[in-house]
Amino acid sequence: MTRTESPAPTTAEESSVVAKLSTLDRFLAVWILLAMAVGLGLGRLIPGMGDALAQVEIGGISLPIALGLLVMMYPVLAKVRYDRLDAVTGDRRLMLSSLVINWILGPAVMFALAWIFLPDLPEYRTGLIIVGLARCIAMVIIWNDLACGDREAAAVLVALNSVFQVIAFGLLGWFYLDLLPQWLGLGDGQGLDVPVWHIALNVIVFLGVPLLAGFLTRRIGEQKLGRERYESNFLPKIGPWALYGLLFTIVILFALQGKTITSQPVDVVRIALPLLVYFAVMFFGTFLLGKAIGLTYERTTTLAFTAAGNNFELAIAVAIATFGVTSGQALSGVVGPLIEVPVLVALVYVALAWRKKFAPSAINASA
């Protein structure tokens, strides 16, 4: 079915929209880069800070990072209209594409890139493969929201990823780290013994808690205020906290491993190269797929960000628990967000530029 495109906003209208953005929103990329620099600086300059932060954890889950992610995700999940989720789950193209991309193509692409770029560095290679197995269930929520993706679709897809993460993570770890290398004659594999309870705890903390909080806030808020007042009065008050939580999480994350990252720059570059290729392949490939199968801009964007993002919190925790905090596998996990955060911020702007040029009706619909 052909959809009639509405005319693009005029320059004056676009300028008006930009003028309404807060300072935090307009200079988001700057704040994120500063947060990364602050975190790296703190981890490098303050002796023992990373170790002290790492000790504040329960069951392998860092409480400071969990707090930051809760503050970051709660406002976005409170914006989701949960009564519209049926329309998302009924979209078979979206659901099937997400499952195939996240749980078949994503791990396979990372496996191939790890062996292509790091054939002589087995520890780093293994760490990258673990990152590829940990599909995103947390920070993708905010990248999607910043790029004006479909909030309801994002909620459904990260919930779907969380279920498959509990079921499939350990099995895929055995396949890609042990069985497949032996089949391909690449040498003996490395086992990955990850308790299911640990993955389930990760899902509950990083997705379950903020999702439940957002759902209850929406349900109670609409009952007390009505939908119109809830969305026009309450949501704008809690909205900025998503970005505050994002910046706090970034500072803590990089403070935890600041010394490790800054003391091994050559190794960081070696690990970063396949990650850059991975993010480009997954995002742009998925974006083209979404357009080819006729998804809207909003759902294509959501599909692309859920495909490109990874659950680096889980990847780091698994690498440390299995191979040790000073291992090369752990360093690969740490470099993951170092590259992912600025790259996905850049991809937010790429998605918005695509929206402005090729999907102006999406801008008018959200105005």
DSSP string across 33-92 = HHHHHHHHHHHHHSTTHHHHHHTSEETTEEHHHHHHHHHHHHHHHHH--GGGHHHHHT-H
Task: Report the pLDDT value the prediction gives residue 20, as an integer from 0 to 100.
Answer: 46
Q: How far apart are CA 66 and CA 82, in angstroms?
A: 24
Task: Report the pLDDT value the prediction gives residue 270, as an integer from 0 to 100.
Answer: 93
Task: Report the pLDDT value the prediction gives residue 190, as an integer from 0 to 100.
Answer: 63
3-state SS, one letter per residue, for the chain: CCCCCCCCCCHHHHHHHHHHCCHHHHCHHHHHHHHHHHHHHHHHHCCCHHHHHHCCEECCEEHHHHHHHHHHHHHHHHHCCHHHHHHHHCCHHHHHHHHHHHHHHHHHHHHHHHHHHCCCCHHHHHHHHHHHHCECCCCHHHHHHHCCCCHHHHHHHHHHHHHHHHHHHHHHHHHHHHHHHHHCCCCCCCCCCCCHHHHHHHHHHHHHHHHHHHHHHHHHHHHHHCHHHHHHHHHHHHCCHHHHHHHHHHHHHHHHCHHHHHHCHHHHHHHHHHHHHHHHHHHHHHHHHHHHCCCCHHHHHHHHHHHHCECHHHHHHHHHHHHCCCCHHHHHHHHHHHHHHHHHHHHHHHHHHHHHHHCHHHHHHHC
Mapped onto helix, strand or coil, the DSSP state of residue 135 is strand
Taken in order of first residue, the domains within the chain and their CATH numbers are: 39-356 (1.20.1530.20)
What's CA 193's distance to the chain center, in Å? 24
Task: Give residue-wise pLDDT tens across range 118-170.
Answer: 998 889 999 999 999 989 887 888 899 989 999 999 999 988 888 888 888 88
Mapped onto helix, strand or coil, the DSSP state of residue 140 is helix
- Could you identify the residue written with the tokens 């935890």? 256
Q: How far apart are CA 294 and CA 271, in angstroms?
A: 35
- Phi, psi (rounded to 5 degrees) for 241: -65, -20
Task: Report the pLDDT value the prediction gives residue 4, as an integer from 0 to 100.
Answer: 38
Q: 238: buried, middle or exposed (CB in 10 Å: 19+, 13-18, 0-12)?
A: middle
Residue spans of the chain under pLDDT 70: 1-26, 50, 54, 59-60, 188-194, 196, 325-326, 359-367
Task: Report the pLDDT value the prediction gives residue 6, as an integer from 0 to 100.
Answer: 40
Under 8 Å CB-to-CB from 196, ≥6 apart: which residues?
Answer: 166, 170
**Type of residue at 98:** S
Task: Report the pLDDT value the prediction gives residue 16, as an integer from 0 to 100.
Answer: 41
Task: Report the pLDDT value the prediction gives residue 32, as an integer from 0 to 100.
Answer: 82
- Phi, psi (rounded to 5 degrees) for 275: -65, -45
